[in-house]
Amino acid sequence: MNITGYSKSPVKKARIASGRADLSDSPEMKGMVSEIVYRDDQPWMAQCLLLPLLHQLGQQSRWLLWLTPNQRLSRSWLQASGLPLTKVMQATPSNSWTTVDAMLRALRTGNYSVVIGWLSYEVSDEEHQLLLEAAEAGNAMCFILRAAPGADNGTRPRSGLKIHSGLYH
C-alpha cells in the first residue's frame, strides 16, 4: 500500500517510496471505520481485501484485535496468512457487552492499530458515528465484517469502504 505525500523527513520519504509507509505516520490517518460485507459462500473475498492491510498494520508496535462473538480464529490460519502471532489478540465480548461496545472501548485505548468486529447486523448511523469518534481518538482503524443477507442487499455505503463481494467474480 502506498501512501503518497510530501515529507521533509528522509526516513519517511524512503518508507513512502518503498511502499512500506507506516500508516500511523501519515498526517491524514486519524482513524477510520469501514465495513466489509461479504457473502457466506465467498468468505475469501474479505480475506483478499483485508489481509494486505493487516500485514501492513502488523508492522506497527500496536496490536491487531479481532472481536469474534461466535467463532474462534484458527492459529494455523493466522500462521498461514503470515500475520504476526505476537501482535494478534482475539476476544469474545461477554454477555454484558455487545460487540460494538467492546469495539468502542478498544478503539479509544490507542493500544490497537486495528479493531475488527464481526456483526450480524448493519450498524446504525449513531453506532457508526460513535465508532468513528473512538477510532479517531485512538488513531486506529475499525473494520466491521458482516455477511450479506443476500447477493445484493441494496444498502448504500457510508463514508469508508463497503464491499459487496457478490459484485466481484
pLDDT in tens, 62-76: 999 999 877 788 888
Identify which has the larger pLDDT, 27 or 118.
Answer: 118
User: Which domains are seen in the chain, by residue range?
Assistant: 1-25 (no CATH), 31-167 (3.40.50.300)
| Assigned C-alpha cell, 111 | 493500544
Q: How far apart are CA 114 and CA 151, in angstroms?
A: 28
Q: How far apart are CA 38 and CA 45, in angstroms?
A: 7
Q: What is the mean pLDDT of residues 94-106?
A: 88
Map grid coordinates 479481532 to a residue. Answer: 66
| Rounded CA Rg of the chain | 16
Report how far Cα 4 is from the mean position of its chain's Cα atoms.
21
Exposure class string for 53-83: b at 16+ Cβ within 10 A, else e: bbebbbebebbbbbbbeeeeeeeeebeebeb
Tell me the pLDDT tens digit for each residue of 16-25. 333 444 444 4
Q: How far apart are CA 83 and CA 103, in angstroms?
A: 21
Any idea which of 104-108, 130-134, 162-166 has the lowest mean pLDDT?
Answer: 162-166
| Assigned C-alpha cell, 100 | 460494538
